[in-house]
Amino acid sequence: MAVKIFRRIEVLTRKIYYDAEKMIKTNNDSSSLGGIVVNEYWQKNINQSSKQIKYGALMSYTAVFVNIIAGLVYTPWMISQIGQADYGLYALALSVIVFLLLILV
């Protein structure tokens, strides 16, 4: 399983490298950054990537915050509905299922 993951990472890395090589061109419309010639298309993609990274980070923190709030609201409600002992079994069963899914996938 780990070999599949590493091979997938290797394939993606090669694709990114190939795409970068394809985009880097020396022509009259390009400007130089630290000895690397980068055209306007590449610069536009860098700006968009930076915006996407910022947006992705913001969404990630928002998701973490929402999950914390949901857990703080959901847990007491669930305990009041099914009882403390049954909630413990529920949490244990969920943990085992997630663990098995991580191993199998």
Q: Give the separation between CA 49 and CA 25, rounded to whole angstroms.
A: 19
Structural domain boundaries enclosing 90: 39-105
Write the DSSP string, 15-77: HHHHHHHHH---STT-EEETTEEE-HHHHHHHHHHHHHHHHHHHHHHHHHHHHHHHHHHHHHH
**What domain count does the chain have?**
2
Which band of pLDDT confidence, cut at 50, 70 and 90, is reported for residue 38?
Answer: low
Mean pLDDT across the stretch 58-64? 94
Contact between 78 and 87 under an 8 Å Cβ cutoff? The reply is: yes
23 shares a domain with 10: yes
62 and 27 share a domain?
Answer: no
pLDDT at 92 over 70: yes
pTM: 0.46
pLDDT by residue (tens digit) across 70-82?
Answer: 999 999 999 999 9
pLDDT value at 58 more than 60: yes
> Do 33 and 44 share a domain, yes or no?
no
Residues 52 and 67 in one domain: yes
